[in-house]
């Protein structure tokens, strides 16, 4: 069992990442740290709690983290994000609201303490802007350096971005935070658009979920179908959606699913290419890069594992 913390801005694919982690026999989800991104940080907390309640995992703690990018105290939700994830962030399918609240400890402190406590046994999977992680690293670098691995859903090395031609959504939300993390020397696995845009599910999968005929299977299939509609016409003839955030959990649990390129990265923080993840020229000739970028993925194997976990959690 791998110990995992999910750092999530809980929209639809983050919710699917949570469900996948909970349904997998290989994962011990020890907490969810919340952050702004797809939704405000408060909605992100609410959505994570609601998803946990839905599948009766009220034992998993949720911590509130950053409200906005580094150096700012305002967050503005992009119009496009409402279309992709719905007004409530999880597909407007009326998932019952949780009555629970976030833990009193802040997400940043939880990340620091978890790295101290679990060290190399811990994997942090960030499926969101990297503000919480950058704050934790700046506050306690020696503690965060004890982590086993940081798997990041974010960035695009060999393909174009999804917000600008250069930038992927999680990175452009806070390029400075992303730069801090990518240049930190921490052991990173980047699960970017290079692989997530190849990992598509379609109506076949939501139909299979509906056939399970449980209360949750219908709701979860409805939520995924909402996500499909937002991708309509954007996936070269395929009607479906990419599994961005679940794939990051998948690769954290099964690194063999991906082929990687070892290279130190940086993030551009200004100009037209703001938010671009790109090789760090100064370190190109140094040995032992700290980042592995996923460039190929066994998508059919992953989708098999994903569906297996979803079926487990929908019982």
Place of tokens 């992953």: 302
| Range in contact with ligand RIB (rule: CB under 6 A) among 114-122, 130-138, 166-174, 293-301 | 166-174
Applying CB under 5 A, which of residues 2, 4, 14, 135 lies at the interface with Ca ion?
14
Q: Does 13 bind ligand RIB (CB under 6 A)?
A: yes
Of 77 and 146, CB closest to Ca ion: 77
Q: Does 43 bind Ca ion (CB under 5 A)?
A: no
Concerning whether 57 is annotated as a catalytic residue, the answer is: no
Q: Which does 149 bind (CB under 5 to 8 A by kind): ligand RIB, Ca ion, none?
A: none
Q: Which does 169 bind (CB under 5 to 8 A by kind): Ca ion, ligand RIB, none?
A: ligand RIB
Task: State the virtual CA torsion across 79, 160, 196, 89 in degrees, nearest 10.
Answer: -10
Work out how close the CB of 266 gets to ligand RIB at its nearest, in angstroms, rounded to a whole number: 19
Work out how close the CB of 205 gets to ligand RIB at its nearest, in angstroms, rounded to a whole number: 18
Applying CB under 6 A, which of residues 2, 5, 6, 11 lies at the interface with ligand RIB?
11
Q: Does 169 bind ligand RIB (CB under 6 A)?
A: yes
How many positions of this chain bind Ca ion (CB under 5 A)? 5
- Interacting residues with ligand RIB between 126 and 145 (CB under 6 A): 127
- Interacting residues with Ca ion between 243 and 282 (CB under 5 A): 245
Of 32 and 140, CB closest to ligand RIB: 32
Applying CB under 5 A, which of residues 43, 66, 127, 196 lies at the interface with Ca ion?
127
Q: Does 9 bind ligand RIB (CB under 6 A)?
A: yes
Work out how close the CB of 71 gets to ligand RIB at its nearest, in angstroms, rounded to a whole number: 20
Q: Which residues bind Ca ion (CB under 5 A)?
A: 9, 14, 127-128, 245
Q: What residues are annotated to the active site? A: 244
């Amino acid at each position: 069992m791998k110990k995992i913390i999910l750092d999530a801005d809980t929209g639809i694919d983050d919710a699917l990442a949570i469900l996948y982690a909970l349904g997998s026999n290989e994962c011990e989800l020890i907490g969810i740290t919340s952050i702004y991104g797809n939704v405000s940080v408060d909605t992100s907390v609410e959505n994570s709690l609601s998803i946990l309640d839905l599948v009766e995992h009220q034992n998993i703690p949720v911590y509130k983290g950053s409200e906005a990018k580094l150096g700012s105290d305002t967050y503005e939700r992009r119009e496009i994000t409402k279309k992709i994830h719905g007004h409530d962030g999880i597909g407007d399918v009326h998932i019952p609201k949780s009555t629970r609240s976030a833990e009193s400890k802040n997400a940043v402190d939880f990340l620091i303490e978890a790295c101290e406590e679990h060290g190399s046994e811990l994997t942090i999977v960030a499926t969101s802007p990297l503000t919480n992680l950058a704050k934790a690293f700046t506050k306690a670098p020696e503690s965060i350096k004890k982590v086993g691995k940081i798997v990041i859903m974010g960035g695009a090395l060999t393909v174009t971005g999804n917000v600008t031609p250069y930038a992927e959504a999680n990175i452009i939300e806070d390029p400075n935070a992303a730069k801090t993390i990518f240049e930190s020397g921490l052991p990173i696995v980047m699960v970017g658009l290079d692989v997530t845009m190849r990992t598509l599910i379609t109506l076949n999968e939501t139909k299979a979920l509906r056939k399970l005929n449980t209360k949750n299977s219908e709701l979860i299939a409805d939520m995924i179908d909402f996500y499909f509609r937002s991708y309509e016409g954007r996936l070269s003839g395929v009607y479906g959606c990419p599994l961005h955030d679940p794939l990051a959990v998948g690769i954290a649990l099964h690194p063999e699913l991906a082929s990687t390129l070892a290279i130190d990265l940086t993030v551009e923080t200004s100009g037209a290419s703001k938010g671009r993840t790109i090789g760090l020229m100064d370190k190109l000739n140094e040995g032992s890069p700290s980042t592995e970028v996923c460039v190929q993925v066994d998508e059919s194997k992953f989708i098999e594992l994903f569906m297996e976990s979803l079926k487990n959690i929908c019982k």
